[in-house]
Amino acid sequence: MQAVAVIAAVLMATAFGAVGQDAPPPPPTSTGTGYVEYTLAAKAPAQTHPPYFGVVMLGGHGDVDEATAFFCKHSGGGKMVILRASGDDDYNKEFHEKCPANSTTTIVFSSREASEQPWVLAQLRDAHAIFIAGGDQSNYIKFWKGTSVQKEMNAAIARGVPIAGISAGLAVEGEFIFASMIDTVTTEQALANPYDIHVTLDKDFLAIPQLRGVITDSHYSARSRMGRSVVFAARILQDRWAKQIHVMGIDETTAVLVQADGSARVVGKGAAHIFAMDAPAETCADGTPLTVRGLSGFVAPSGSTLNLKTWTATPSESFTINVVDGKMTVTK
């Protein structure tokens, strides 16, 4: 009898997702052409005030409480819209607890058709804050670029709606983007051939004034991504997309919080790694390892203040990057 009782208890627990498994996601609030949505009302509704602009740049692999507080404060309450192309309502739950004055609506896109649906566009017009989740940024380019969703996102930015992105969401915040259209690319692959088919770049998706002339990268130290971001910068100059480019690589569980005036702070557990390139590489050609010398940059640890107009930080540690025949050295 005891064994039967134990088996019955296990079966009951399994039915409710309690044995080593997460509970199944809730059903969506509604579905439409190419999307599903999940909505939670504000936990503690309060009088809203107009949003004021700010940018949250999260390096991935964990949220940062100070970044969430910054985002919620800049929203002024009201509707928070979370955009993603995979997953479900996870961020609704988090923001529901940490931003009780905000309602949360997650829209999970599965096709480009969703980006022309009137209900989707109405959510962006009503948004007090827009959060772009992690995942695969190639889906964001495929589903949103050149659509009404892109127009509404940029209209929201122009009227002062704060915007945040984590990991893949961070990847699309700058003027220039590693689009990951043919999977990701490692530092070793990119340095060996800057025109490797996996080095897929894009531009002109979001119009964030403070990030003009910028390309971002996430999971920076943990995945040794500095070398590939050197290649991204070299390609942008080689292909004449810009005459100068700034790279912002952000560590995991770290965020850069940008105000409308271009001042910013680094918060979380890691650092922001920033460098500039203002002249073409010595060698940046298909099938040939990269050579570029004398790139100057700095590491801004958590607690640093940044100025994105002068590209300075306090405190910070300077470094110089040299790449010769695809081999990179960093000197501090």
- pLDDT tens-digit series, residues 170-179: 999 999 999 9
**CA–CA distance, 245 with 248 (Å, rounded to integer):** 10
CATH of domain 34-331: 3.40.50.880
**CA–CA distance, 280 with 259 (Å, rounded to integer):** 31
- pLDDT tens-digit series, residues 37-94: 999 999 999 999 999 999 999 999 988 999 999 999 999 999 999 999 999 999 999 9
pLDDT tens-digit profile, the chain (332 residues): 334 343 333 333 333 333 334 566 678 888 999 999 999 999 999 999 999 999 999 999 988 999 999 999 999 999 999 999 999 999 999 999 999 999 999 999 999 999 999 999 999 999 999 999 999 999 999 999 999 999 999 999 999 999 999 999 999 999 999 999 999 999 999 999 999 999 999 999 999 999 999 999 999 999 999 999 999 999 999 999 999 999 999 999 999 999 999 999 999 999 999 999 999 999 999 999 999 999 999 999 999 999 999 999 999 999 999 999 999 999 99
The sheet with strand 263-268 has its strands ordered as 30-32, 35-40, 102-109, 78-84, 127-132, 163-166, 54-58, 254-259, 263-268, 305-307, 312-314
pTM of the model: 0.92
**Domain ranges (residues) in the chain:** 34-331
**CA–CA distance, 53 with 71 (Å, rounded to integer):** 9
